Amino acid sequence: MREKKIAPSSIKIAFFLLIALILRSAYAFYAYVHTFNEYKTEVQQVTALDPDGYNRLGLALLERGELSLTPGHLETSREPFYPVLLAAAHFFFGLSPVVGIGLNVLIGVLGCWMMYGVTLSVFQSERVALYALILAVFFPEWIYFSATMFREPLIILLSLIWILLWQKYLVPQNSWAYAGMGTVFGLLCLTRSPFIPMGGAFAILAAFKIKPKYWARTIGVFLLCAFILEGIWMYRNERILKRWVAGASMGGSVMYLSLLYNYSHPEVPLEAPLSSGKDPVILSVNAQHLTLAQAEPIFYRACLEILIHHPLVFLGAFFHKVIKLWRPYPNPGWKYPHSFFGLSSLSLIGLFSGGGIMLLGLWGTLLAWRDHYPIGFLILFPLIMSIVYGLYWAVMRYHTTLMVGLIPQAAYALNSLFQRKEA
């Protein structure tokens, strides 16, 4: 019996995925050791490894059966899917923070693999797909977020799975495929609720590709499956807050705080205006002893008042946030733990990775558009998320997720450049 030969491309994929695993594991080990050497108390160590508290939510879910950092005060401002995954990982492998970090390392490697699949489905070229895989493997920000319990690796993975399914099944009228797309998208929204508008945008895009008589069994199935998952979360939050919340209940406060934020001094925490005692809206909320979740409608009304009466303030903040997402280097004011061995290194790496990929991605978008590749999905991804983040908030890790829609085109640009040199 003849042995089945392994294709050279499969060997290359496995090799670079192994490199991705080694890089992320090595950096995770560095981050873990650095954290315990740098932060002396257990609380500081846990906070440094779990800056947004999602691992603590997962442990609370496992130990007390409630999504809450404070016993008895159920959480509505944090989406549930990532804490649920962390809780499951801790259930099977123990309560050590190594478990949560290890989960993110694994998710990060899977994200690199999915990037290869997405790029291959768009450009139908193993060489371009391999370039995209290499960019994903070595992209420093993706390595960094795989070494800490941020939800960005999960967002990237789910986004890429969704894009891959859409690229493969956008035109075929396969209801089961669209049910799968809707389920993945629903999980994505339960990981990061600002993605909710993306579903409507891509449903509109699909409507131009699919005949109207098939809309119900394709787009309708997609939206239904996504809504079932999100609807369960919305119903649960309505029972707690006595009002419907499309996603997480912190949108109003974040949008309002972003209008007050001093962008010239990024070291000032996001929550600083809440404790300053100067803003009249925040003073009113504090006087009524409301939580941020309870006060969300008040903050949204205040944002609307600013838009109506001071539109330049609102639009100025919006464009400032969008520009912040798209600048080719990270802001040195944002100090994450163990940030690439220091802020100077962070800025340099950001310039050559994020900035380089961004410029390559924009160039590759023009080339791919000229060559009639189906990149509409990939163009809309960073565009819509820029609008959403421009309305709410913009930090370095949100910039990181935009690369999902830029790395494939960056790989196409690299391939075009190398082909010219070979010619």
- The CA distance from 49 to 145, in Å, is 11
Instruction: Check if the beta carbon of residue 384 is closer than 8 Å to that of residue 129.
Output: no
- Please give the single-letter amino acid code of residue 220: G
Q: Which of 257-261, 284-288, 372-376 has the lowest mean pLDDT?
A: 257-261
Closest CA to 272 of 288, 291, 258, 285: 258
Q: What is the mean pLDDT of the chain?
A: 86
Instruction: Check if the beta carbon of residue 258 is closer than 8 Å to that of residue 299.
Output: no
- The CA distance from 51 to 36, in Å, is 14
Q: Give percent of the chain above pLDDT 70.
A: 88
Task: Please report the sign of the dihedral spanned by the C-alpha atoms of residue 75, residue 86, residue 340, residue 364.
Answer: negative
Question: What pLDDT, on the 0 to 100 scale, is given for residue 264?
Answer: 47
3-state secondary structure of 422: helix
* 222-242 per-residue burial string, b: 16 or more CB within 10 A, e: under 16: bbebbbebbeebeeebeeebe
pTM for the full model? Answer: 0.92
Question: What pLDDT, on the 0 to 100 scale, is given for residue 353?
Answer: 75
Question: What pLDDT, on the 0 to 100 scale, is given for residue 267?
Answer: 42
Q: What is the pLDDT of residues 102-158, one digit of tens each?
A: 999 999 999 999 999 999 999 999 999 999 999 999 998 898 888 888 999 999 999
- In this prediction, residues 272-277 reach a mean pLDDT of 66
Residue 73 main-chain phi, psi, to 5 deg: -110, 90
Q: Helices 407-422 and 356-370: crossing angle, nearest 10°?
A: 70
Q: Does residue 420 surpass a pLDDT of 90?
A: no
Locate tokens 């391999």: which residue?
130
Residue 143 main-chain phi, psi, to 5 deg: -65, -45
Instruction: Check if the beta carbon of residue 52 is closer than 8 Å to that of residue 155.
Output: no
Q: Does residue 2 surpass a pLDDT of 60?
A: no
Q: Which of 261-275, 365-379, 393-407 has the lowest mean pLDDT?
A: 261-275
- In this prediction, residues 279-293 reach a mean pLDDT of 87
**Residue 319: CB partners within 8 Å, gap ≥ 6?**
390
